[in-house]
Chains A and B, each alone.
Chain A
């Protein structure tokens, strides 16, 4: 099966989904700080809380949103939640993964098969990557915190 390299539009779908989440929920934008390739020497970006969607169909790979506990606590505070428990933080990254999933479906069309978005703790190791292409990291800043979007995706031509 032939896979094409990712275009910036393919990545922007996910970064825009995250930005939209922050803007809608907290009325404060999360801004993309930069974008770069995660080469073999880079440590995997796997933070306190991770929202993951695995894709298949004409696609192969995963999209991960990793955020530190401090950021998610402040998000919960911003949306009026008093409880900042682990479960609530997992809910937030799960919701972001869900939003990315919806946007991805609209962007990539019916061929994209998406597994149910999952929220995982740092203590759970990241799954073995299924994509063979180079993953892209997009750090996003919200207030003083930085989260990472990692798009590791092969797209069939």
Chain B
């Protein structure tokens, strides 16, 4: 059986005891009052009985006297006898009462007075009985009774008066005692009531102070803690208390009563949200140990979707089940949110720094592998192109057509830079150019362009310049190391053997072709024919540097088939790509690139022209095969199914066409479906 202590909570125990005591005291006072009131009533009856003795004594004396007169006069005495009988019986009863009261009161004087009354009464009672014994009592007996009555009556009256006074004194004493007792009891009750009130007030005051202190401490904690803290119930409904830091961490206001999961769903991906719901469901499951779930938290580091393209924000959420008591079930969860964006950024900065260091090393190795003159020329050319593009951007006429022309020009030059970078195996520049092409491609497909659309073009040029600057920095550092040795050689009169620029260009092109083929899982054999052609003009050099990579890439991507396709077509698995540079009989130069691939499918090309929206179907239908093939040299036309780093932009042949025009070359194309394609560039003798 639980004890009272365990039954009553500590802070209520004293209060309950005090109230119980107050109740018992109140009951005691009431009981005492009841008893005392009975005593008062008894005292009243005693006093009344004393008064009755006086009356009955008088009545008896009067009746005896009357009987004496009647007897002497010979009158009938029955009435007097009846009065005597009534008076003495009544006196007996009253005396018995008085004696009983005296006995109850245990009061000595009262008992003595009662006894005296009895002693005085008995002779008179006997005389009265004698007067009643006969219808005609003797005159002498009557006289004797009258005499006795006269004398005893006075004494009885005196004794009755004394007794009444004694009883009144007793009653007064008792009433005084009763008042004292009542006053005491009421005082005790009031004291107890006051104790209860004071105790309760103090308790309440202390509770208020404790509650206020707890509230203040809670507020201080919630105001100071550097985490977003709040409570949710099992349904995800947010509680009323939260730390101030929450508003700084969480991008949306979390009002009490809102559903946290609904708010969160607007900020994270649907996949993350699904995982989060499952995770929270597991946390609320009593049978699953939270320790086992620690690593499963999908919100441990989550990126929030932010409007307006501002910097990414990463938050870390942790969930702690909340219970009402140690043995009760989970009622909700304490959610702690921290902004870990800085941490993530620092990690990324570190990773970026490492990546940059790696890429710089890779860049260094790339550059070391190349002819410094080639790399320097590439950098100078690329920079010059980008400067030219920047100038074109600056001076562009503000109308949609001019914007489109500029964007197309930028696309062509960037594609050219990409081709050269790939030929030199400078992957960082090629990749940056490829990303830039993505943006330019999207712009070229816009219905109309505005000045705002040139902002990404300018930033794209900036990014490419930055990549070039990195290579420049690497070369400058290498040059700084190499300078003393070069100076020493110069002093020793050593001469640097002149490189065969054409040969080196061809070697680069071969490497590019093999790399592209490898990326596309194709096999290709490259044949080069470079007879002694003598001095080569710079214009041809430029085309070899900038245009040949495009032609070779085009041949490998579009011409040479995949191994399986070649096998099915009855060809050797290994495709053949032949590059020839020769001097013609008239002294001019001729460059040809031939592949034994699938050739040009004019029907497929017609279809692409229509499907990709380059030309209306009717216009394409009216075009000759020659005109259709000629569109390959227009910007944006490609037969590739999708855009990759190597193909799909439709800019490679556009670049070649532009270079041919700029260098004064005649460009010819010959192709047989499923057999070969040959591009030939011819320069007249200078």
Contact = CB atoms under 8 A, between A and B. Distances in A.
A39 B387 contact: yes
Contacts of A121: none
Contacts, number: 89
A35 B452 CA distance: 8
Interface in A60-80: none
Contacts of B458: 8, 11, 34-37, 136
B107 interface: no
Interface string B306-345: 0011110100000000000000000000000000000001
Contact of B459 (A6, A106, A111): A6
Contacts of B456: 8
Nearest to B459: A8
Contact of B455 (A5, A12, A134): A12
Contact of A32 (B353, B394, B451, B465): B451
A46 B456 CA distance: 24
Interface in A1-46: 2, 5-9, 11-12, 15, 31-37, 39
Nearest to A146: B398
B466 A31 contact: no
Contacts of A31: 398, 450-452
A25 B313 CA distance: 34
A33 B397 CA distance: 8
A136 B456 CA distance: 11
Determine chain A's interface SS by DSSP, over half rule. mixed
Which among A7, A8, A156, A157 has the highest number of chain B CB atoms within 10 Å?
A: A8
A84 interface: no
A88 interface: no
B462 interface: yes
Interface size class of B (residues with CB under 8 A): 20 to 34
Interface in B422-456: 450-452, 454-456
B421 interface: no
A60 to B, nearest CB: 15
A133 B469 CA distance: 11
Interface string B201-223: 00000000000000000000000
A137 B9 CA distance: 76
B349 interface: yes
Contacts of B391: 36
Given A11-B455, A107-B310, A108-B311, A32 B462 contact: no
A111 to B, nearest CB: 7
Given A33-B398, A36-B393, A39-B390, A11 B459 contact: yes
B348 interface: yes
A35 B393 contact: yes
Contacts of B465: 37, 134
Nearest to B339: A110
B417 interface: no
Contacts of B398: 31, 33-34, 141
B459 A7 contact: yes
A95 B308 CA distance: 22
Given A32-B452, A34-B396, A35-B451, A107 B308 contact: yes
Contacts of A106: 308, 310
Determine chain B's interface SS by DSSP, over half rule. helix
B390 A138 contact: no
A18 to B, nearest CB: 11
B112 interface: no
A125 interface: no
Contacts of B463: 5
Nearest to A8: B456
B653 interface: no
Contacts of B393: 34-36
A111 B311 CA distance: 9
Contacts of B521: none
B612 interface: no
B156 interface: no
A140 to B, nearest CB: 8
A67 B347 CA distance: 42
A136 B457 CA distance: 11
Contacts of A108: 310-311
B461 A5 contact: no
A12 to B, nearest CB: 6
Interface string B385-402: 001001101101010000
Interface in A113-137: 133-134, 136-137
A86 to B, nearest CB: 29
Contacts of B173: none
A108 B308 CA distance: 9
Nearest to B345: A157
Given A107-B309, A109-B311, A111-B311, A15 B450 contact: no
B352 interface: yes
Contacts of A138: 455
Given A2-B352, A34-B396, A134-B462, A9 B454 contact: no
Contact of A36 (B348, B352, B390, B466): B390
A111 B451 CA distance: 30
B311 A136 contact: no
A109 B455 contact: no
Which among A6, A12, A157 has the highest number of chain B CB atoms within 10 Å?
A: A157
Nearest to A16: B452
B455 to A, nearest CB: 4
Contacts of A134: 462, 465
Interface in B365-393: 387, 390-391, 393
Contacts of A156: 345, 349
Given A34-B396, A109-B313, A157 B348 contact: yes
A47 to B, nearest CB: 16
A109 B345 CA distance: 14
Nearest to A2: B349
Contact of A109 (B310, B348, B353, B387): B310
B349 A32 contact: no
B56 to A, nearest CB: 112
Nearest to B342: A111
Nearest to B353: A2
A11 B352 CA distance: 23
A37 B452 contact: no
Given A7-B459, A32-B451, A35-B455, 4 more contacts: A31-B452, A34-B458, A109-B311, A134-B462
13 contacts: A5-B462, A12-B452, A31-B398, A31-B451, A32-B450, A34-B458, A36-B390, A37-B462, A39-B387, A134-B462, A134-B465, A136-B458, A157-B345
Interface of A: 2, 5-9, 11-12, 15, 31-37, 39, 106-109, 111, 133-134, 136-139, 141, 156-157
